[in-house]
Structure 1
């Protein structure tokens, strides 16, 4: 459609929020950022270290157009991914430049493990088993690095802090943040780092394989699995140009454009050892559940109406993930858990009225960025831009880590949040709206010991 369309759902965080006067200005501000992800030798061969580095590389490149992975050596990937057999090969396939020395042109540095701080703006990834987040300084040493889910979350939050500098138009102070991915609704305690042994679901149904659904797949693929495992993948859409900037599995280049999203997810999960079953149509609540079907549904849909239909469909357990809407709320994560198709009253607010949604779109069309955009794409193209939602890849990655963490809790016969609200600007201040009852019986899992 236009040179601005490919990254439009990222740049809309600036244009729609009044932080950039045009899409061209928004693109230019993102392009000025040059991120170094520095991976220390102490974390090069750990599950969390590899997951953090590749998550930071993938999301930074999608946001800013370029990223460099800095590391002294190389190591085989701990998990099997369809992007290479080593950390270096995987980073290059994700679009990174790889070097042994920090770039003199880097504007921001993400540090993982024992690495020099340098003189420029930098943020450290930090974790200790189920605890994950970022640090401004070197005071806290990284702890247990055997859980990849924590690495995914830490890498995503680190890129979020770089993006916050772009939104502010200046470098802002790094924020220390610590979240327990085991109990994200509680203030993290350094004395409670979560279990070393737990169960992982061995049968899952993934519905919607765009921004959020691909983040679920990304996190699952970093978990070392064993035994027979099945994922049902359901989505009717094809990969389009704007998906490259928002969806973790869509790699640089045009090879995957026009491919069905379920088939892309299928490649990743099969490579990681999962069996798959593909459904290339919408779920309208009309697919009968069989005794051998996965008991846990992970939903990553955009629209509320089909989510409400699925919530009442009768899955033994459903985890629904959503993100905030609009430029002021694109970092908000919501997670809901529904048991046996019986969502509590008021779990979702009422769908917005059509006239309210239309009024919001009209408000954007009068802004300078959209007036200028019309000269390139015409009236219809301008409306399409305005109707598209803001979607930034690090938000999806962080959401994937939170959701998979809670799916693991359910498989381990622990309760999960009925409703959880988290803002990535302050992820350690999550809001809880009650817990489900703990499952009474194991619905299918494999035991994992770190």
Structure 2
């Protein structure tokens, strides 16, 4: 029995309903048939970047491929990631919703590892090197494969996993013959560079990390921020200090888009659950459970950098009014036809928050999808419930995860003397058509605070 309501409908499944393709019952049945195989080259399993890609793939896929996410080729190995997911890779796979038994033969496949024989109608590989990340067909002879390289910057395998799940989802949703047959990726150091696969970005090794951060909003994007931050190589003696701000509770629909949410958290405050996760990771946290607005005033002891995942205009317009030295904000598309899109802003920039997020005139009311009208006429929803449910955003965890890799990389790039970007605008269905604008603001005297990164063992 499906619990149908504004706070219970899976936000990714909602795409089928809003587009008119299926009733709610039909949409859930369609997603129940989605399966995915993730296989990994056992010879690569000791690599931290390979483990990051694998676990991120499982986390994201389990929120979409309801028929099962199967990991093939896994061997008993210790988990080298700092995330609180258990002592072994298998523990982490299970904790993130993966399976290791009963691997099907006819499901889409994603490989983490070297060039391999193409198996099935959809088979891609993840790639990551330095700050570069992407996907290619499984048998694609690329310059990054079959070469022993230092571990990639931790967010590169996260981005590769996000792009891989986006491509696999496109395949199962549309069946398009082009899905998975062309390279797609980018450099987190040089996001404007389209030749990411063949042109080295000359990015530095990760040497320093943020010391303090303020996270505003702990939903879809905010939890992806935490996932990315949790993978950064902090020394135990130099833990990240976080201020976590949100007013919401975890709802039944939250786990469909939010990487750290589970059914066991429903009804609990997001601040409390995310603080508990971050503390298990080894971070230090404080929480604020009131709406973010221009009534705040940042003191010299507070974090001077904010990562924002708000979805309301008043809060966004206040971002450059409370005293932050640097704000990195990401917003996502919310309709069935644009939910794969995202836009990143950094502040200060050439425009103020009021200029960027102007008061919008009320949009013309769109026709309510017929499925919601049917539910109202049948008594499942009243008028208010129908309107509220129709207005809820469509979303997918891989979009928020992609946004988080870009946002956290903006800060890491700034800490390493690289260029800030005023905006990055992209749609995951056409990554090469992204628009990137540099931020001309003069921030050379701004010191956000940093700690030294733990260096890999050699």
Q: Same fold by TM (over 0.5)?
A: yes
Aligned pair partner of 1:157 in 141, 163, 176: 163
Contact 2:39/2:74 (CA < 8 Å) preserved in 1?
A: no
Deviations 1:119-170 (A, max 9, x none): 3411111111110010013312445433221111111111111111233255
Aligned pair partner of 1:92 in 86, 94, 108: 94
Q: Report the 3-state secondary structure (helix = DSSP H, G, I; strand = E; otherwise coil) of the residue aligned with 1:270.
A: helix
Question: Is residue 2:341 matched to residue 1:332?
Answer: yes
Q: Report the 3-state secondary structure (helix = DSSP H, G, I; strand = E; otherwise coil) of the residue aligned with 2:380.
A: helix
Contact 2:74/2:90 (CA < 8 Å) preserved in 1?
A: no
Contact 1:51/1:152 (CA < 8 Å) preserved in 2?
A: yes
Change (3 A) 1:277 1:345: closer
In the TM superposition, what is the alpha-carbon distance from 1:7 to its structure 2 partner? 4.6
Contact 1:214/1:248 (CA < 8 Å) preserved in 2?
A: yes
In structure 2, distance between residues paired with 1:266 and 1:438: 31
- The unaligned stretches of length 5 or more in structure 2 are none
Structure 2 match to 1:201? 210
In the TM superposition, what is the alpha-carbon distance from 1:336 to its structure 2 partner? 0.5
Contact 1:39/1:112 (CA < 8 Å) preserved in 2?
A: yes
State how 1:270-309 maps to structure 2 within 5 Å: 270-309=279-318
Aligned pair partner of 1:416 in 420, 429, 433: 420
Change (3 A) 1:292 1:196: same
Question: Is residue 2:163 matched to residue 1:145?
Answer: no
Structure 2 match to 1:128? 129
Question: Is residue 2:381 matched to residue 1:378?
Answer: yes
Change (3 A) 1:292 1:4: same
The alignment's TM-score, normalised by the length of structure 1, stands at 0.91
Structure 2 match to 1:443? 448
Q: Kindly tell me the number of residue pairs found equivalent between the two proteins.
A: 438
Contact 1:30/1:166 (CA < 8 Å) preserved in 2?
A: no
In the TM superposition, what is the alpha-carbon distance from 1:346 to its structure 2 partner? 7.8
Structure 1 match to 2:276? 267
Select the structure that is richer in helix. 1
In structure 2, distance between residues paired with 1:432 and 1:324: 17
In the TM superposition, what is the alpha-carbon distance from 1:368 to its structure 2 partner? 3.0
The alignment's TM-score, normalised by the length of structure 2, stands at 0.89
Aligned pair partner of 1:211 in 190, 213, 220: 220
In the TM superposition, what is the alpha-carbon distance from 1:420 to its structure 2 partner? 1.2
Q: Report the 3-state secondary structure (helix = DSSP H, G, I; strand = E; otherwise coil) of the residue aligned with 2:319.
A: helix
- The unaligned stretches of length 5 or more in structure 1 are none
In the TM superposition, what is the alpha-carbon distance from 1:51 to its structure 2 partner? 1.6
In structure 2, distance between residues paired with 1:345 and 1:239: 28
State how 1:21-420 maps to structure 2 within 5 Å: 21-65=22-66, 66-99=68-101, 102-104=103-105, 106-114=106-114, 116-136=117-137, 137-140=139-142, 141-142=144-145, 144-170=150-176, 172-174=178-180, 175-187=182-194, 188=196, 189-226=198-235, 227-251=238-262, 254-339=263-348, 343-344=351-352, 348-354=356-362, 356=363, 359-360=365-366, 363=367, 365=368, 367-374=369-376, 375=378, 377-379=380-382, 380-420=384-424
In structure 1, distance between residues paired with 2:280 and 2:432: 34
Deviations 1:177-216 (A, max 9, x none): 1200112122225322521244221110000000000000
Root mean square deviation of aligned Cα = 2.3
Change (3 A) 1:237 1:75: same
In structure 2, distance between residues paired with 1:427 and 1:347: 27
Deviations 1:400-422 (A, max 9, x none): 11111111112223331111112
In structure 2, distance between residues paired with 1:408 and 1:152: 15
Deviations 1:305-341 (A, max 9, x none): 21111232221000011112312211111111103x9
Q: Report the 3-state secondary structure (helix = DSSP H, G, I; strand = E; otherwise coil) of the residue aligned with 1:443.
A: coil
Deviations 1:377-410 (A, max 9, x none): 2233322220101111110111111111111112
Change (3 A) 1:4 1:38: farther
Deviations 1:262-281 (A, max 9, x none): 12221222222211111122
